[in-house]
Copies of this chain bind each other. A is one copy, B any other.
Protein backbone atom coordinates (compact mmCIF):
# COMPACT_ATOMS: atom_id res chain seq x y z
CA UNK A 1 0.00 0.00 0.00
CA UNK A 2 1.36 3.43 -0.95
CA UNK A 3 1.71 6.17 1.66
CA UNK A 4 -1.73 7.75 1.61
CA UNK A 5 -4.74 8.68 3.68
CA UNK A 6 -7.61 6.22 4.10
CA UNK A 7 -10.55 7.15 1.85
CA UNK A 8 -14.06 7.68 3.14
CA UNK A 9 -17.49 8.04 1.56
CA UNK A 10 -20.49 9.18 3.57
CA UNK A 11 -24.13 8.09 3.41
CA UNK A 12 -26.44 10.64 5.02
CA UNK A 13 -25.11 13.61 6.96
CA UNK A 14 -26.12 16.47 4.68
CA UNK A 15 -26.04 20.04 5.90
CA UNK A 16 -27.95 20.62 9.17
CA UNK A 17 -27.59 16.96 10.20
CA UNK A 18 -25.97 16.87 13.65
CA UNK A 19 -24.33 13.49 13.67
CA UNK A 20 -22.99 13.61 10.11
CA UNK A 21 -20.97 16.71 10.95
CA UNK A 22 -19.66 14.97 14.05
CA UNK A 23 -18.47 12.00 12.00
CA UNK A 24 -16.68 14.28 9.54
CA UNK A 25 -14.92 16.14 12.34
CA UNK A 26 -13.96 12.86 13.97
CA UNK A 27 -12.55 11.62 10.66
CA UNK A 28 -10.73 14.90 9.95
CA UNK A 29 -9.02 15.54 13.26
CA UNK A 30 -6.02 13.31 12.90
CA UNK A 31 -5.37 13.94 9.24
CA UNK A 32 -5.55 10.22 8.45
CA UNK A 33 -8.77 10.22 6.42
CA UNK A 34 -9.62 11.72 3.07
CA UNK A 35 -13.30 12.47 2.60
CA UNK A 36 -13.84 11.57 -1.05
CA UNK A 37 -17.51 11.18 -1.83
CA UNK A 38 -21.00 11.18 -0.40
CA UNK A 39 -24.66 10.39 -0.84
CA UNK A 40 -25.45 13.05 1.68
CA UNK A 41 -29.20 13.37 1.43
CA UNK A 42 -32.24 11.78 -0.15
CA UNK A 43 -33.17 15.29 -1.20
CA UNK A 44 -31.15 15.92 -4.40
CA UNK A 45 -30.83 19.66 -3.81
CA UNK A 46 -29.57 19.11 -0.29
CA UNK A 47 -27.20 16.42 -1.50
CA UNK A 48 -25.66 18.76 -4.08
CA UNK A 49 -25.45 21.79 -1.85
CA UNK A 50 -23.91 19.72 0.90
CA UNK A 51 -21.34 18.31 -1.48
CA UNK A 52 -20.34 21.80 -2.57
CA UNK A 53 -20.10 23.05 1.00
CA UNK A 54 -17.88 20.12 1.84
CA UNK A 55 -15.64 20.56 -1.22
CA UNK A 56 -16.56 17.19 -2.75
CA UNK A 57 -15.98 16.86 -6.47
CA UNK A 58 -19.22 17.04 -8.43
CA UNK A 59 -18.76 13.61 -9.97
CA UNK A 60 -18.53 12.03 -6.54
CA UNK A 61 -21.52 13.85 -5.09
CA UNK A 62 -24.08 11.07 -5.42
CA UNK A 63 -27.85 11.31 -5.10
CA UNK A 64 -28.38 7.97 -3.38
CA UNK A 65 -26.29 5.38 -1.67
CA UNK A 66 -26.89 2.64 -4.25
CA UNK A 67 -25.38 4.85 -6.95
CA UNK A 68 -22.47 5.71 -4.72
CA UNK A 69 -21.62 2.15 -3.84
CA UNK A 70 -21.90 0.96 -7.43
CA UNK A 71 -19.91 3.84 -8.91
CA UNK A 72 -17.20 3.77 -6.28
CA UNK A 73 -16.73 0.05 -6.69
CA UNK A 74 -15.95 0.66 -10.36
CA UNK A 75 -13.21 3.18 -9.67
CA UNK A 76 -9.57 2.09 -9.86
CA UNK A 77 -7.98 1.00 -6.59
CA UNK A 78 -5.94 4.19 -6.30
CA UNK A 79 -9.08 6.35 -6.23
CA UNK A 80 -11.75 4.10 -4.75
CA UNK A 81 -12.89 4.68 -1.19
CA UNK A 82 -11.85 2.26 1.56
CA UNK A 83 -14.94 2.57 3.69
CA UNK A 84 -18.40 4.08 3.94
CA UNK A 85 -19.80 5.86 6.95
CA UNK A 86 -23.55 5.48 7.46
CA UNK A 87 -25.13 8.34 9.40
CA UNK A 88 -28.76 8.04 8.36
CA UNK A 89 -31.60 7.48 10.87
CA UNK A 90 -31.76 3.98 12.36
CA UNK A 91 -34.15 2.48 9.82
CA UNK A 92 -31.77 3.32 6.98
CA UNK A 93 -28.65 1.61 8.36
CA UNK A 94 -29.15 -1.97 7.36
CA UNK A 95 -29.59 -1.84 3.59
CA UNK A 96 -26.61 0.39 2.78
CA UNK A 97 -24.41 -1.49 5.22
CA UNK A 98 -25.23 -4.83 3.60
CA UNK A 99 -24.72 -3.42 0.12
CA UNK A 100 -21.42 -1.78 1.06
CA UNK A 101 -20.08 -5.01 2.52
CA UNK A 102 -21.25 -6.90 -0.55
CA UNK A 103 -19.25 -4.52 -2.71
CA UNK A 104 -16.12 -4.87 -0.63
CA UNK A 105 -16.29 -1.70 1.43
CA UNK A 106 -15.59 -1.55 5.11
CA UNK A 107 -18.28 0.18 7.14
CA UNK A 108 -18.74 2.66 9.98
CA UNK A 109 -22.30 2.87 11.33
CA UNK A 110 -23.82 5.25 13.79
CA UNK A 111 -25.55 3.35 16.60
CA UNK A 112 -27.95 1.62 17.10
CA UNK A 113 -26.70 -0.64 14.38
CA UNK A 114 -30.07 -1.56 12.82
CA UNK A 115 -33.80 -1.43 13.36
CA UNK A 116 -34.03 -4.97 14.77
CA UNK A 117 -31.97 -7.71 16.33
CA UNK A 118 -32.61 -9.88 13.30
CA UNK A 119 -31.04 -7.32 10.96
CA UNK A 120 -28.09 -7.01 13.29
CA UNK A 121 -27.50 -10.74 13.17
CA UNK A 122 -27.60 -10.67 9.37
CA UNK A 123 -24.99 -7.93 9.36
CA UNK A 124 -22.89 -9.94 11.78
CA UNK A 125 -23.04 -12.89 9.42
CA UNK A 126 -22.13 -10.72 6.44
CA UNK A 127 -19.14 -9.24 8.24
CA UNK A 128 -17.96 -12.71 9.07
CA UNK A 129 -18.33 -13.88 5.47
CA UNK A 130 -16.61 -10.91 3.90
CA UNK A 131 -13.81 -10.52 6.41
CA UNK A 132 -14.34 -6.78 6.23
CA UNK A 133 -14.34 -4.46 9.23
CA UNK A 134 -17.43 -2.85 10.72
CA UNK A 135 -17.18 -0.12 13.32
CA UNK A 136 -20.10 1.04 15.45
CA UNK A 137 -19.74 4.51 16.93
CA UNK A 138 -20.57 4.00 20.58
CA UNK A 139 -18.80 7.26 21.27
CA UNK A 140 -18.44 7.04 24.98
CA UNK A 141 -16.15 4.05 24.96
CA UNK A 142 -13.74 6.25 22.98
CA UNK A 143 -12.88 8.48 25.92
CA UNK A 144 -9.40 7.92 27.35
CA UNK A 145 -10.57 7.89 30.96
CA UNK A 146 -13.17 5.25 30.10
CA UNK A 147 -10.34 3.16 28.73
CA UNK A 148 -8.36 3.83 31.88
CA UNK A 149 -11.33 2.63 33.93
CA UNK A 150 -11.62 -0.54 31.84
CA UNK A 151 -7.89 -1.09 32.24
CA UNK A 152 -8.01 -0.74 36.02
CA UNK A 153 -10.93 -3.14 36.35
CA UNK A 154 -9.27 -5.69 34.10
CA UNK A 155 -6.05 -5.40 36.09
CA UNK A 156 -7.97 -6.29 39.23
CA UNK A 157 -7.23 -3.00 40.97
CA UNK A 158 -10.78 -2.87 42.38
CA UNK A 159 -11.08 -6.58 43.11
CA UNK A 160 -14.16 -8.44 41.91
CA UNK A 161 -16.88 -6.07 40.68
CA UNK A 162 -19.98 -6.05 42.84
CA UNK A 163 -22.19 -3.22 41.69
CA UNK A 164 -22.63 -0.93 38.68
CA UNK A 165 -24.71 2.24 38.59
CA UNK A 166 -25.07 3.79 35.17
CA UNK A 167 -27.35 6.64 34.23
CA UNK A 168 -27.98 8.75 31.18
CA UNK A 169 -30.37 11.59 31.89
CA UNK A 170 -31.23 14.11 29.21
CA UNK A 171 -34.00 16.69 29.25
CA UNK A 172 -34.47 17.63 25.62
CA UNK A 173 -37.67 15.59 25.12
CA UNK A 174 -39.42 17.11 28.15
CA UNK A 175 -41.93 18.64 25.77
CA UNK A 176 -43.39 17.35 22.48
CA UNK A 177 -40.57 18.99 20.57
CA UNK A 178 -41.01 16.41 17.81
CA UNK A 179 -44.15 18.32 16.83
CA UNK A 180 -42.38 21.65 16.81
CA UNK A 181 -40.06 21.06 13.92
CA UNK A 182 -37.20 19.25 15.66
CA UNK A 183 -36.23 16.73 12.97
CA UNK A 184 -33.96 14.71 15.25
CA UNK A 185 -36.75 14.40 17.80
CA UNK A 186 -39.25 13.50 15.09
CA UNK A 187 -37.55 10.37 13.79
CA UNK A 188 -36.30 9.30 17.22
CA UNK A 189 -39.87 9.17 18.56
CA UNK A 190 -41.30 7.44 15.46
CA UNK A 191 -41.25 3.63 15.80
CA UNK A 192 -41.00 3.14 12.05
CA UNK A 193 -37.73 5.05 11.91
CA UNK A 194 -36.26 4.51 15.35
CA UNK A 195 -37.23 0.93 16.18
CA UNK A 196 -38.97 -0.66 19.14
CA UNK A 197 -37.63 1.72 21.75
CA UNK A 198 -37.05 5.46 22.07
CA UNK A 199 -34.90 6.57 24.98
CA UNK A 200 -33.71 3.08 25.82
CA UNK A 201 -32.62 2.52 22.22
CA UNK A 202 -31.13 5.94 21.68
CA UNK A 203 -29.20 6.40 24.91
CA UNK A 204 -29.90 3.35 27.10
CA UNK A 205 -27.82 1.32 24.65
CA UNK A 206 -24.90 3.67 25.21
CA UNK A 207 -25.23 3.23 28.97
CA UNK A 208 -25.38 -0.56 28.72
CA UNK A 209 -22.44 -0.71 26.33
CA UNK A 210 -20.40 1.53 28.62
CA UNK A 211 -21.19 -0.62 31.67
CA UNK A 212 -20.13 -3.78 29.89
CA UNK A 213 -17.10 -2.14 28.30
CA UNK A 214 -15.66 -0.82 31.55
CA UNK A 215 -16.53 -3.78 33.72
CA UNK A 216 -15.70 -6.53 31.25
CA UNK A 217 -18.94 -8.18 32.45
CA UNK A 218 -22.06 -9.13 30.54
CA UNK A 219 -25.66 -8.40 31.51
CA UNK A 220 -27.46 -11.70 32.11
CA UNK A 221 -30.79 -10.59 33.59
CA UNK A 222 -32.79 -7.42 33.57
CA UNK A 223 -36.01 -6.00 34.95
CA UNK A 224 -37.11 -2.98 32.96
CA UNK A 225 -39.64 -0.21 33.43
CA UNK A 226 -39.96 1.83 30.22
CA UNK A 227 -42.26 4.81 30.29
CA UNK A 228 -43.90 7.23 27.92
CA UNK A 229 -43.90 10.23 30.21
CA UNK A 230 -44.91 13.00 27.83
CA UNK A 231 -48.48 12.26 26.74
CA UNK A 232 -48.93 11.74 23.02
CA UNK A 233 -45.43 10.43 22.36
CA UNK A 234 -45.01 7.26 20.29
CA UNK A 235 -42.09 5.63 22.09
CA UNK A 236 -40.61 5.42 25.57
CA UNK A 237 -38.88 8.64 26.59
CA UNK A 238 -37.72 7.32 29.96
CA UNK A 239 -36.71 4.07 31.58
CA UNK A 240 -35.25 2.42 34.67
CA UNK A 241 -33.75 -1.03 34.91
CA UNK A 242 -32.44 -3.46 37.48
CA UNK A 243 -29.55 -5.56 36.22
CA UNK A 244 -27.62 -8.73 37.02
CA UNK A 245 -24.21 -9.41 35.51
CA UNK A 246 -22.52 -12.69 34.68
CA UNK A 247 -20.32 -12.68 37.79
CA UNK A 248 -23.27 -12.05 40.10
CA UNK A 249 -22.82 -8.30 40.36
CA UNK A 250 -25.98 -6.22 40.44
CA UNK A 251 -26.73 -2.96 38.76
CA UNK A 252 -29.10 -0.14 38.00
CA UNK A 253 -29.47 1.60 34.65
CA UNK A 254 -31.45 4.79 34.08
CA UNK A 255 -32.00 6.38 30.67
CA UNK A 256 -34.29 9.33 30.39
CA UNK A 257 -34.95 12.10 27.92
CA UNK A 258 -37.46 13.86 30.15
CA UNK A 259 -35.06 14.72 32.98
CA UNK A 260 -35.76 18.41 32.58
CA UNK A 261 -32.67 20.57 32.74
CA UNK A 262 -30.18 17.79 32.10
CA UNK A 263 -27.93 18.01 29.08
CA UNK A 264 -26.14 14.78 28.27
CA UNK A 265 -25.30 13.63 31.76
CA UNK A 266 -24.05 10.11 31.20
CA UNK A 267 -22.38 8.89 34.37
CA UNK A 268 -21.13 5.55 35.57
CA UNK A 269 -20.00 4.16 38.89
CA UNK A 270 -18.43 0.73 39.29
CA UNK A 271 -17.77 -0.74 42.71
CA UNK A 272 -15.49 -3.65 43.49
CA UNK A 273 -14.28 -5.31 46.63
CA UNK A 274 -11.47 -2.82 47.14
CA UNK A 275 -12.71 0.41 45.66
CA UNK A 276 -14.89 2.20 43.16
CA UNK A 277 -14.67 4.23 39.97
CA UNK A 278 -16.73 7.21 38.94
CA UNK A 279 -16.81 8.86 35.51
CA UNK A 280 -19.00 11.66 34.12
CA UNK A 281 -19.23 12.24 30.40
CA UNK A 282 -19.66 15.98 30.83
CA UNK A 283 -16.32 16.29 32.65
CA UNK A 284 -14.64 13.46 30.80
CA UNK A 285 -10.99 14.10 31.57
CA UNK A 286 -11.38 13.11 35.20
CA UNK A 287 -11.75 9.62 36.61
CA UNK A 288 -12.39 9.47 40.33
CA UNK A 289 -10.97 6.38 41.98
CA UNK A 290 -12.24 5.66 45.48
CA UNK A 291 -10.61 3.35 47.98
CA UNK A 292 -11.57 1.67 51.21
CA UNK A 293 -9.89 3.63 54.00
CA UNK A 294 -7.61 5.62 51.73
CA UNK A 295 -8.13 9.03 50.14
CA UNK A 296 -9.86 8.98 46.77
CA UNK A 297 -7.65 9.71 43.80
CA UNK A 298 -8.32 11.97 40.86
CA UNK A 299 -6.93 10.44 37.69
CA UNK A 300 -6.61 12.94 34.86
CA UNK A 301 -6.34 12.48 31.11
CA UNK A 302 -2.96 13.14 29.56
CA UNK A 303 -0.95 12.28 32.66
CA UNK A 304 2.15 10.08 32.63
CA UNK A 305 0.81 7.69 35.27
CA UNK A 306 -2.02 6.43 33.05
CA UNK A 307 -2.15 3.11 31.24
CA UNK A 308 -0.81 2.75 27.72
CA UNK A 309 -4.30 2.35 26.32
CA UNK A 310 -5.42 5.65 27.85
CA UNK A 311 -2.34 7.39 26.48
CA UNK A 312 -2.86 5.89 23.03
CA UNK A 313 -6.27 7.60 22.96
CA UNK A 314 -5.12 11.07 24.04
CA UNK A 315 -3.70 13.88 21.90
CA UNK A 316 -2.61 16.61 24.32
CA UNK A 317 -0.97 16.79 27.77
CA UNK A 318 -2.91 16.90 31.02
CA UNK A 319 -4.89 20.05 31.66
CA UNK A 320 -5.72 20.62 28.00
CA UNK A 321 -9.25 19.24 27.96
CA UNK A 322 -10.28 16.87 25.21
CA UNK A 323 -13.95 16.17 24.70
CA UNK A 324 -16.69 14.43 22.81
CA UNK A 325 -15.23 15.03 19.37
CA UNK A 326 -11.86 13.59 20.36
CA UNK A 327 -13.57 10.53 21.86
CA UNK A 328 -15.40 10.11 18.60
CA UNK A 329 -12.15 10.61 16.73
CA UNK A 330 -10.51 7.87 18.78
CA UNK A 331 -13.01 5.41 17.39
CA UNK A 332 -12.21 6.56 13.87
CA UNK A 333 -8.48 6.53 14.54
CA UNK A 334 -8.48 2.98 15.79
CA UNK A 335 -10.74 1.84 12.96
CA UNK A 336 -8.44 3.52 10.45
CA UNK A 337 -5.32 2.03 12.07
CA UNK A 338 -6.98 -1.36 11.77
CA UNK A 339 -7.88 -0.78 8.14
CA UNK A 340 -4.41 0.47 7.23
CA UNK A 341 -2.81 -2.52 8.92
CA UNK A 342 -5.10 -4.93 7.12
CA UNK A 343 -4.52 -3.16 3.78
CA UNK A 344 -0.80 -3.58 4.41
CA UNK A 345 -1.34 -7.26 5.08
CA UNK A 346 -0.64 -6.99 8.80
CA UNK A 347 -2.53 -8.01 11.90
CA UNK A 348 -4.07 -5.22 13.93
CA UNK A 349 -3.02 -5.00 17.57
CA UNK A 350 -5.45 -5.11 20.45
CA UNK A 351 -5.12 -1.33 20.85
CA UNK A 352 -6.06 -0.83 17.19
CA UNK A 353 -9.06 -3.15 17.48
CA UNK A 354 -10.33 -1.27 20.52
CA UNK A 355 -13.45 0.15 18.85
CA UNK A 356 -17.06 -1.07 19.02
CA UNK A 357 -17.87 -3.56 16.32
CA UNK A 358 -20.68 -5.69 14.93
CA UNK A 359 -20.79 -7.84 18.08
CA UNK A 360 -21.52 -4.70 20.12
CA UNK A 361 -24.20 -3.93 17.58
CA UNK A 362 -25.88 -7.31 18.02
CA UNK A 363 -25.69 -6.97 21.80
CA UNK A 364 -27.18 -3.50 21.62
CA UNK A 365 -30.15 -4.68 19.58
CA UNK A 366 -30.66 -7.60 21.98
CA UNK A 367 -30.58 -5.12 24.86
CA UNK A 368 -33.37 -3.10 23.26
CA UNK A 369 -35.52 -6.10 22.50
CA UNK A 370 -35.05 -7.61 25.94
CA UNK A 371 -35.78 -4.30 27.63
CA UNK A 372 -39.01 -3.82 25.71
CA UNK A 373 -40.13 -7.40 26.40
CA UNK A 374 -39.30 -7.10 30.09
CA UNK A 375 -41.11 -3.81 30.44
CA UNK A 376 -44.26 -5.36 29.00
CA UNK A 377 -44.09 -8.40 31.29
CA UNK A 378 -45.32 -9.04 34.85
CA UNK A 379 -42.35 -11.32 35.41
CA UNK A 380 -39.66 -9.75 37.55
CA UNK A 381 -36.41 -11.00 36.08
CA UNK A 382 -35.88 -11.49 32.37
CA UNK A 383 -32.96 -13.43 30.90
CA UNK A 384 -30.84 -11.43 28.47
CA UNK A 385 -31.43 -13.40 25.25
CA UNK A 386 -29.67 -12.90 21.94
Contact = CB atoms under 8 A, between A and B. Distances in A.
A153 to B, nearest CB: 13
A177 to B, nearest CB: 10
A326 B325 CA distance: 9
Chain A contact residues (Cβ within 8 angstroms of B): what range? 35 or more
Interface in A1-39: 3-5, 18, 21-22, 24-25, 28-31, 35
A293 interface: yes
Interface in A260-288: 260-265, 269, 271-276, 281-285, 288
Nearest to A18: B317
A30 B28 contact: yes
Contact of A31 (B24, B251, B272, B285): B24
A227 interface: yes
Interface in A52-102: 52, 54-55
Contact of A293 (B292, B297, B305, B315): B305
A225 interface: yes
A246 to B, nearest CB: 16
A174 interface: yes
Interface stretch (A127-135, A205-213, A346-354, A377-385): A377-385
B259 A276 contact: yes
Contacts of A242: 223, 225, 240, 242
Given A158-B260, A290-B261, A291-B261, A254 B30 contact: no
A42 interface: no
Contacts of A317: 18, 263-264
B292 A260 contact: yes
Given A163-B229, A240-B250, A304 B296 contact: no
Interface stretch (A106-114, A165-173, A186-194, A357-365): A165-173
Contact of A55 (B31, B292, B300, B302): B31
